[in-house]
A and B are shown apart, each in its own frame.
Chain A
Amino acid sequence: EVQLVESGGGLVQPGRSLRLSCAASGFTFDDYAMHWVRQAPGKGLEWVSGISWNSGTIGYADSVKGRFSISRDNAKNSLYLQMNSLRSEDTALYYCVRASAYSWRGGWIDYWGQGTLVTVSS
């Protein structure tokens, strides 16, 4: 069974940093690209970032480009999101999601974690 478990969320002040983690199990992690998708309270879904199976290619939404950094450690079956210069509009539930392909530009999003809540407020 595919399992994606996020952690690292919490309350953080504007301008500060936070690092999210996602522990994957139930599948061969390095066979798949991974993404982060977020959902602001009461709002819809927004793609944040994607990374290919070997970290060779990475992509970001314009809203987070230059502030967020995605990475993965295939030896630890883990995905990460380093979030810097956080803003109030980054407040959301952050989902770790699996893609159905090696490349983050291919396939589709097929499995979702339960999410970790990030609240940016002073």
Chain B
Amino acid sequence: QSVLTQPPSASGTPGQRVTISCSGSSSNIGSNYVYWYQQLPGTAPKLLIYRNSQRPSGVPDRFSGSKSGTSASLAISGLRSEDEADYYCAAWDDSLSGWVFGGGTKLTVL
């Protein structure tokens, strides 16, 4: 069981806006930044969002992140077929003294 909770799947049609949620607790999301990673099929994860809502250079502004209390969300607007991937949230956990991840959300573009 993952420490952070994500829905196992999400879907949308091209051009739509999709959101993926990530729920944690006061020891992780509630007191630390949230990060999001994209894992395309057969590849290593790639940093998508850092410090809740910041995008690394090269990440399209179609991707956005937010955080409120002990939950966070990733939004993808103008959905494209190449966005089909697994998405993971992550945060530092003060109680565990380590990084914790969500179980991942498989995004399907219909």
> Is A bound to B?
yes
Which residues of chain A have a CB within 8 Å of any CB of chain B? 35, 37, 44-47, 50, 59-62, 95, 100, 105, 108-115
The answer to whether A46 touches B101 (Cβ under 8 A) is yes
Q: How far is the CB of B37 from chain A (nearest CB, A)?
A: 8
Residues on the B chain within 8 Å of A108, using CB:
33, 35, 47, 50-51, 90
A115 B98 Cβ-Cβ under 8 A:
no
Given known A-B contacts A109-B90, A115-B44, A44 and B2 have beta carbons under 8 A apart: yes
Q: Which residue of chain A has the shortest Cβ distance to B42 in the bound complex?
A: A114
Contact between chains at A47 and B98 (CB < 8 Å): yes
| Closest residue of A by beta carbon distance from B92 | A105
**8 Å CB interface, B18-44 against A:** 33, 35, 37, 43-44
Q: With a CB–CB cut-off of 8 A, which chain B residues contact A61?
A: 96, 98
Q: Does B58 sit within 8 A of A, measured CB to CB? A: no
* Chain B interface bracket (under 10, 10 to 19, 20 to 34, 35 or more): 20 to 34
Asked if A112 and B46 make an inter-chain contact with CB atoms under 8 angstroms apart, the answer reads: yes
For the complex, give the distance between the alpha carbons of A61 and B3 in Å: 13
Asked whether, in the complex, the Cβ of A47 is within 8 Å of the Cβ of B45, the reply is no
- Report the minimal beta-carbon distance from B44 to chain A, rounded to whole angstroms: 4
Q: Which residue of A lies closest to B43 (CB)?
A: A114
On whether the beta carbons of B50 and A110 are closer than 8 Å, the reply is yes
- Is B100 an interface position by the 8 A CB rule? yes
Q: Are B44 and A47 in contact (CB under 8 A)?
A: no
Which of A44, A100, A110, A115 has the most chain B CB within a 10 Å cutoff? A44
Instruction: State whether A47 touches B50 (Cβ < 8 A).
Output: no
Q: Are A35 and B50 in contact (CB under 8 A)?
A: no
